[in-house]
Amino acid sequence: MAPRNEFDVLAMAKAENMDVELTPASTLGAVFHEGDFVGVVAPGGAGYGDVLEREPEAVAADVSKGIITQWTAENVYCVVLDDEQRVNHEATLEQRTAERKQRLAEAKPYKAFVREWSKLHPPADALTLYGEWPGTTAAEESPGEQTRT
């Protein structure tokens, strides 16, 4: 069976008595040696549509199949499951309603978002790896520039 996530990779490597170190993809300057194995686990696409519109039963089925965790069901899809992974419809409705209210409270007009977002730049050392940022070059960036989060 192919690994689905970094935990599967870790379990498979440990089962083979391999010395394993998990390093976040954002780590710069990793050093590898002859014989090292480097594997990359990447998530799939962002999906289609608003997670709050997904049928709660479909989310519960994904948990049962091991596609997503119960934490993801509750914290991303806002689907509340009982101990037997059945949907608690009343609690799910309450949690999804609260999430929608929170989204509205944090929302800002599109023009305001673009105005703030377009002032941000990645750090100069990242630009040396990925190329130019619109309106600047890596040489023009100074260390400590504000980064996107």
Kindly report, residue by residue over 89-132, the tens digit of the pLDDT.
999 999 999 999 999 999 999 999 999 988 888 777 777 766 77
Low-confidence ranges of the chain (pLDDT < 50): 138-149
Look at residue 146 in the predicted model and tell me its pLDDT: 47
Q: How far apart are CA 26 and CA 32, in angstroms?
A: 16
131 Cβ contact list (under 8 Å, min separation 6): 138
Look at residue 93 in the predicted model and tell me its pLDDT: 98
Look at residue 74 in the predicted model and tell me its pLDDT: 94
Look at residue 127 in the predicted model and tell me its pLDDT: 72
Look at residue 107 in the predicted model and tell me its pLDDT: 93
Look at residue 60 in the predicted model and tell me its pLDDT: 97
88 Cβ contact list (under 8 Å, min separation 6): 80, 81, 82
Give domain limits for the chain.
Answer: 50-107
Look at residue 43 in the predicted model and tell me its pLDDT: 65
